[in-house]
Structure 1
Amino acid sequence: MSRDRFEAIFWSLHLSDVTEDEENERKRGTPQFDRLFKIKPLYGEIVNACNSLFQPYQNITVDERVVASKARIGFRQYMKDKPTKFGYKLFVLADSKTGYTSNFFVYQGKDKSKVKLRGQKDDGLSVTSVMDLMKFDLLGKGYHLYVDNFYSSPLLFNKLLKNHTAACGTIRTNREGFPRTTINDLPKKPERGDMRWIREGNLLFARWMDTKVVNLCSTFHKAYSGATVLRRVKRPDGNWHRAPVDVPDACRDYNINMGGVDLSDALIHYYSVHGKTMRWYKTFFYHFIDIAVVNSYILHKAVSSSHNQAPMSHKQFREVLMREMVEQAKALVAEATPRPSLTNTCMPVFRGSTGTQDRRKCVVCAAKEKVKAKQMPGYKIRDLKTPLYCSRCNVSLCLVPDRNCFLEYHSMGLQK
């Protein structure tokens, strides 16, 4: 495909019906206006495919993803602490082991259309985002969810526990419900590996000293079962060496399983199809392709493993996928209708070489003249001749500005 052809197609790319887009635009400023209407058809298809084509392993994770863009749209986010500072924020649920994107939604900013009643308490984005991502088919199935301190709270963990779903994550000490007691707390100058914990109902709160203090909350871990991790520790003589350090079970498992979304992001960015565009919906089009391809590659690895076969590399998989899609597209193109043979087509042709030789009576004009002679006694029949004839019907027919007998003859169905 040439560059100009690609740009022409991409310039005309739309993910929804243009007339419906215009109707949605007329609702701007009202609660009925849908910010994501331009991407809704493909957005919904991708989410449904992610939900249905893969059953995650036991450990899953929820985290944020940023899709880079500088397009001017109201729900674009600025995150100064992120490597990608400008872009669209997605909340993603991924499988911890494989990085498969099981569910996601686009964050549209604070919803100002919701009217909160007096005394009504909002659970907040950190709770609602997780519950929305888990709703499709994961609650009550025995999953272990890992989240970071943006999401972790006693409120969320208790809600998940009521739905028979365990959770673990780092937690901020200013969260409502976090224990305020100082009994059995870490000393003022803790050593690496020191830990303390407390239980409140079904919640375990653990505090562990690594390079800094780490606070965790879990609904399914033991406090400590003798687990260790290797860390650099300073000897009394001032030298550093790697040594085993005690670690709470929750912290060890958190470090192992929290990277599902990061793994998915890494796989996406290795061979991303993302291109520069100022049209926000085209940015999402690129990202949806990335999600679909990476998820397909993860499924390929899972199928290969189940058949005791070595999977292709990521690059090889994309090359094979590209070739198969091209072949499938060729097969879907309908065969071109064969051009009709000129020998079987009615065409006006000159009898002579000069256009004036061998003029003969036009059959349509002759028939009209006979009708006029019958209707008007004394009418003198005109001898109207033409140098043209139909190549298929072999009858002489006029084809002049004031008489198109050729068209009239064939439109009346008089041809042989």
Structure 2
Amino acid sequence: MATARNGRELFTILETSADAESSAACDGQEHPLNLSSGVKWFEIPFKKPGEEEEEDDDGEEEDEEGEGENGDASTAAGSSLGCDILVVTPRSNGVKHEEEDTWEEGCVSASCSDDSDLDFSDLEEEEEERAGFLGYNEDLYEDCTSPEFWGEPDQAIAIEPFTAASGPQHPLGDDADTRDYFRVLFPDSLLEHMVEQTNNYALYRQRRSGKADPHWHPTHAREMRAYVGLNILMGVNQLPEAGMYWASDIFIGNAGFKKTMTARRYEKLTQYLQLCDREAEPVRGERGYDGLFKIRPLLDVLESTMWDAYTPNRCLTVDKSVVAPGRSSPTHSMPSKPLRKGLSVWMLCDSRSGYCHRARIHVGRPSEDQAAVLQGYRAVTSLVHGLEGQYHHLFMGSFLTSVPLLQRLLRDGLYACGPTQSGRKGYPEVLRPRNVGKLAQGEFYQCQRGNLVATVTRDVKVISFLSTNSAPGIVGISPGEQLGGEGDSDSMESSGLTLGVPRPLPLLLYQENMRGVDLCDQLRECYQVGRPCRKWWRYFLWFYVNLCIVNAYIVLRESRGGAPPAGSNGKQFPQRHFRVRLAQLLIGDYQGARGMERAARKRHADSPIEYGHRLERMSERSRRCRNCTNKGLRHESVFGCKICNVHLCRGGCFSEFHK
């Protein structure tokens, strides 16, 4: 019943009777990790070529007669056994390979003794570091490249149960509002630090320029909270330019923005906004130079708050996310992401909720495969630091997945699964495309080394997988997907069944759990925070603020079971309402100088002169009259009101403006 093909153990699609479901379902075991209940799954025992030949001696003639033009005996076998449920069965091609009887059992970790975190000391790798990385990388492959490393998929794997507590760790009570949840992730101390450094940077800039800025005065915590709140609202109510929020047109301008602060004040806060002491910043090449010095205080605070606020669940996702297009050096092309090119970060997210536990800024541009493998190795080990021995399950992208990394994670008590590049060093030679040949949809090969299982299969296209949490020989059939061509569809319709495409367990687990970073990106990309700018570090500032908003929303949603916080109307509380409510609480009743003056003008419009408003000479140079500009006219004047800080024409413009 086997087909002669160039490769090792071939798994072909066969049709069996309905009795196979109950007997093959592992005798009452639970469903595999995180698979939906609608997926039918089966465990298929591996048979060595010699055992199979003994069983098939009596039916050898029937097999030969049943072979079609392509040498596939699946149709004849299906007609003789019935055709209710599709399963995948291992078959040997009769080809013997060298070292076939010398496979070693057990899982031996590669020589990976370096457990250091990512080095963020510079945004570009130095040539000496790259040379050291390549030399270190050779040690990673010391065991997995030997011919005796991979064996037949006939070993049982051991997966320890996950028993750690998970979920939100800061119960705030029923009276907590959106700002309380945001404060857990983005503490007030960080806002106060921003105020201090912004004031210091404004003085630093004025000293360097040698002249004072007449439009700047020191900011404070209330104003900084209002400034952040306005940037959050700009993501909900998006306009092409920041100045349009203060436009006089009633259909464009926003009354709330005008009441909170003036457009000039917003521009000045944006101009001098700072997170670090720029006077103490080391120059490139000096001892202690840090390429991320401008956002280092932000990273140090948020790394601990994001990690402590939510304990990771069993299944986690590691992938790369694009922050925003940028001009700085660490830009990367990612065709599969919504933003194809820009500043990127590694993210560790919860597969179920999308909560981001850690984010690491992507450093360097490795072009060689070895450098890419090492970069992924160090990125993942840095992100999962602190989870050792808790038996989490990690799902990663193809850029990260490698044999040395999965061995290291398994040694640390972490299971992993993900696609990989078939040409990557350490992947089984017999599973490379040139040795496997053309696969039909649903067919797959597997090799094993203890818990480490390598799989090559064809779904929409040929995919190579590495996993340490998937037993070999287990397949699942997802409902609602048609299999094969017209002939298969006719036979299934005649039997009254709709069967899906069989998929090996690593592919099923990956499809179910590789969504944490995508969920986080979807929540984050819906409403951007901040405005585009020319400074790379500000993209990261607003990225982390936005990330804290998303995390706070997830914590609120899980802590309250989806119920809205106190003071909110309606039964549902989507992310949009969360952001608007958060911005309103951050702004509060704050009004800048212009807002208070306008309120005073409204209360005392009958006699503005009594309250200090008078027409007087403003400057030697004439400027446009504010009252005429509001009416669409262009008149200039050197006179105006100093309290309102506007130029006005002599005559009726003064009284008309103050009404």
SS at match of 1:220: coil
After TM superposition, the structure 1 = structure 2 runs for residues 4-403 of structure 1, keeping only pairs within 5 Å, are: 4-21=264-281, 24=282, 27-30=283-286, 32-71=288-327, 73-79=328-334, 83-109=338-364, 124-135=374-385, 137-181=386-430, 188-229=437-478, 230-237=480-487, 243-305=499-561, 312-327=573-588
What amino acid is aligned across from residue 454 of structure 2 in structure 1? F
Structure 2 distance, partners of 1:218, 1:55, is 24
C-alpha distance in 1, partners of 2:431/2:376?
Answer: 27
Residues 228, 274 of structure 1: CA spacing in aligned structure 2 closer, same or farther, 3 A cutoff? farther
The structure-2 alpha-carbon separation of the partners of 1:86 and 1:9, relative to structure 1 and needing over 3 Å to count, comes to: same
- Aligned-residue identity in percent: 26
Counterparts of 1:255 and 1:95, CA distance in 2: 14
Give the Cα–Cα distance (whole angstroms) in 1 for the partners of residues 511 and 335 of structure 2: 25
Structure showing greater Rg: 1
Is residue 305–residue 311 contact of structure 1 (8 Å, CA) maintained in 2?
no
SS at match of 1:319: helix
CA distance in 1 between partners of 2:443 and 2:347 (Å): 33
8 Å Cα contact 2:441/2:460 also seen in 1: yes
Q: 2-side partners of 1:131 and 1:187: how far apart?
A: 32
Contact 1:93 1:103 in 2 (8 A): yes
For each residue in 1:243-294, what CA deviation from the matched residue of structure 2 results, as whole angstroms up to 9, or x when unmatched? 3111111111100111111111111011111421001122111111110100
The SS at the match of 1:155 is: helix
For 2:526 and 2:336, locate their aligned partners in 1 and report how far apart those are by CA, in whole Å.
22
Secondary structure of 2:344's counterpart equals strand
Tell me how far apart the structure 2 counterparts of residues 86 and 182 of structure 1 sit (CA, whole Å).
33
Paired residue secondary structure (2:561): helix
Instruction: Render the CA deviation track for 1:176-214: whole Å, top value 9, x for unaligned.
Output: 22111369x996443221222221232111222212112
SS at match of 1:149: coil
Q: Using the TM superposition, give the Cα deviation of residue 226 of structure 1 relative to its aligned residue in structure 2, in angstroms.
A: 4.4
> Which has the higher mean CA deviation after the structures are superposed, 157-166 or 229-238?
229-238
Q: Compared with structure 1, are the counterparts of its residues 308 and 18 closer, same or farther at alpha carbon in structure 2 (3 Å cutoff)?
A: closer
- Distance in 1, Cα, partners of 2:507 & 2:488: 28
* SS of equivalent residue, structure 1 residue 305: coil
Say whether the 8 Å CA contact 2:477–2:499 is kept in structure 1. no
Distance 1:40 1:86, change over 3 A: same
Describe the shift of the 1:31–1:83 C-alpha distance in structure 2 as closer, same or farther (beyond 3 A).
farther
Contact 1:221 1:249 survives alignment (8 Å): yes
Alpha-carbon offset, residue 79 of structure 1: 4.8
CA contact (8 A) 1:152 1:171 kept: yes
Alignment CA distance shift 1:221-1:311 (3 Å): farther
Amino acid at match of 1:319: V
User: Which has the larger helix fraction?
Assistant: 2
- The runs of 5 or more residues in structure 1 that have no matched partner are 112-120, 331-416
Residue identity matched to 2:516: G
The structure with more strand, counted as a fraction of residues? 1
- The question of whether the paired residues in 2 share the 8 Å contact of 1:192 and 1:209 is answered with yes
The change in CA–CA distance for 1:245 and 1:293 in structure 2 (over 3 A counts) is: same
Partner of 2:648: none
1:231 positional shift: 3.1
Deviations 1:119-156 (A, max 9, x none): xx997101000001111x21211100001111111100
Assess, with a 3 A threshold, how the Cα gap between structure 1 residues 79 and 168 changes in structure 2: closer, same or farther.
closer
Q: What letter is aligned with 1:132?
A: S
Distance in 2, matches of 1:143 and 1:329, equals 46
Query: For the aligned residues, what is the CA RMSD?
Result: 2.9
| Structure-2 residue corresponding to 1:398 | none
* Counterparts in 2 of 1:312 and 1:149: CA distance versus 1, 3 Å: same
CA contact (8 A) 1:96 1:260 kept: yes
Aligned length: 314
Aligned-partner Cα distance in 1 for 2:372–2:550: 36
Secondary structure of the corresponding residue to residue 483 of structure 2: strand
CA–CA distance in structure 1, aligned partners of residues 335 and 485 of structure 2: 39
Alpha-carbon contact 1:186-1:196 (below 8 Å) kept: no
